Amino acid sequence: MQEIEPINPYAPPKAQPLLAEDGEDTSLPRRPRSVKWATFVFGTFTLIMGVLYWQAFNDLGDRKFWQEMSIFDRVLLLPIGLGLSWFGGRRKIAYYVNSGILALIAIIITWQLFLKWLLDGAFAKVFMLDRAFEALVCCLLCYLSYRFTFGLPSRRYFGVAREEAKTESPV
């Protein structure tokens, strides 16, 4: 017959399982909204650019499209970002590369929009609501880049957040 061990208040605590009642792992933070939105942006832009390039491949006579294309025109960057968002997990390389891609895309789109407005006289030609929509999308993309790169939930998710040093005041 086995005796019941009495409760010892001085015994070290036993390890508790890190699973919640529904079986989810609570030790790791959930995927933040900025990471989900970045994956959505990468997927949407990849789809749009894929359709544009498919049309360009089918219509090889459109020389203007091929002359304006550059390597920084989100050709290779978007599928890389999408792949890292899907398969990169919580790796730091996924954080750094996707942060760079988002920042580069935000800079390119902002610069192209600025040049379009400045040089083409776009305000005189098109309805003002179109310009407001372009500015809103540009600002949202810049905000997403900021939140993904510098937002604390995103940095915690990827394990990049610095632990705040606990300093006591001398007073």
Task: Give the sign of the dihedral formed by CA 58, CA 59, CA 60, CA 64.
Answer: negative
Report if residue 15 sits inside a domain. no
Is the residue at 27 inside a domain? Answer: no
The alpha helices in 15-127, defined as continuous H runs, are: 33-58, 63-68, 77-87, 92-119, 122-125
Determine contact, residues 2/121, Cβ cutoff 8 Å.
Answer: no
Residue 118 binned pLDDT confidence (cut-offs 50, 70, 90): confident
| Identity of the amino acid at 38 | A
Give the rounded distance of the alpha carbon of 6 from its chain centre.
53
Is 168 part of a structural domain of the chain? no
Would residue 81 count as lying in a domain?
yes
Host domain of residue 85: 33-58+70-158
Do 71 and 78 meet the contact criterion of CB atoms below 8 Å apart?
Answer: no
Tell me: the pLDDT tens digits for 36-57?
999 999 999 888 888 877 777 6
Is 18 within a domain?
no
* Residue 25, SS3 per DSSP: strand
Angle formed by the axes of helices 77-87 and 92-119, to 10°? Answer: 150
pTM for the predicted model, two decimal places: 0.68
In a domain, 19, yes or no: no
* The pLDDT of residue 164: 43
Over residues 108-122, the mean pLDDT reads 79
Q: Kindly state whether residue 136 falls inside one of the protein's structural domains.
A: yes
User: Is residue 97 included in any domain, yes or no?
Assistant: yes
Q: Minimum mean pLDDT among 33-47, 58-72, 86-100: which range?
A: 58-72
Compute φ and ψ for 19, nearest 5 degrees: -95, 135
The total of structural domains in the chain comes to 1
